Homo-oligomer: A and B are copies of this chain.
């Protein structure tokens, strides 16, 4: 079962201060790329798995989605999400993504931002998503990149010439990784990119796009700390669809 780290007070407090929490999607530099992968939302049924404060749920409604469900494991985040909207077409639901139940053939878009790397395995969820999507419906999600999650020690090393490198090892050793990001003992699961892609295909979805996200030069100019994201991908964005 996935850890509910978002209800850990230290983690929640740290998370609440991140640009993506304060500014919403505009504080997430990968958002323009993720947005470009979305289908037209007008009149569509949308679910956001790991909705957090509900930023995407509100944006989906602004873009014309007929109904939006936001699912999250965190009581605190859902409480905040509920405070931020009085839109009756947005419904928040507390659930672990592993025990989530979805109706068949009812969704046009399943969206998920940086949530699926908390799950020990994805085959079950991808199977549920495939059944829940209408034919032609889309799954668009971001996840931590395996180059970012794999190593025994997350970080950089500098060689004798002063060149800085991101540390990669244990790439093929899939499974639990414990990091100390915002709080001690955050549990994530490392999977190769191939494993994630093949799980989608095995579930009956067709791959549309794989974006190992990196910043544009304009983004680096505006936010210089993003330069290191060009050295190694931290995120991967994937779009898949259920065949017509």
Number of copies: 2
Chain A, interface residues (CB within 8 Å), range: 35 or more
Decide if A194 touches B210 in the complex (CB within 8 Å).
yes
Decide if A212 touches B232 in the complex (CB within 8 Å).
no
Decide if B173 touches A169 in the complex (CB within 8 Å).
no
- Tell me the minimal C-beta distance from A229 to chain B in angstroms: 8
* Cβ-based interface call for A163 (8 A): yes
* Cβ-based interface call for A230 (8 A): yes
Decide if B230 touches A210 in the complex (CB within 8 Å).
no
Decide if B147 touches A231 in the complex (CB within 8 Å).
no
Decide if A169 touches B159 in the complex (CB within 8 Å).
no
Residue of B nearest to A173 (CB): B230
* Cβ-based interface call for A49 (8 A): no
Decide if B209 touches A198 in the complex (CB within 8 Å).
yes
Residue of B nearest to A156 (CB): B169
**Which of B157, B159, B164, B201 lies in contact with A208, CB distance below 8 A?**
B201
**Which of B157, B159, B169, B172 lies in contact with A214, CB distance below 8 A?**
B172
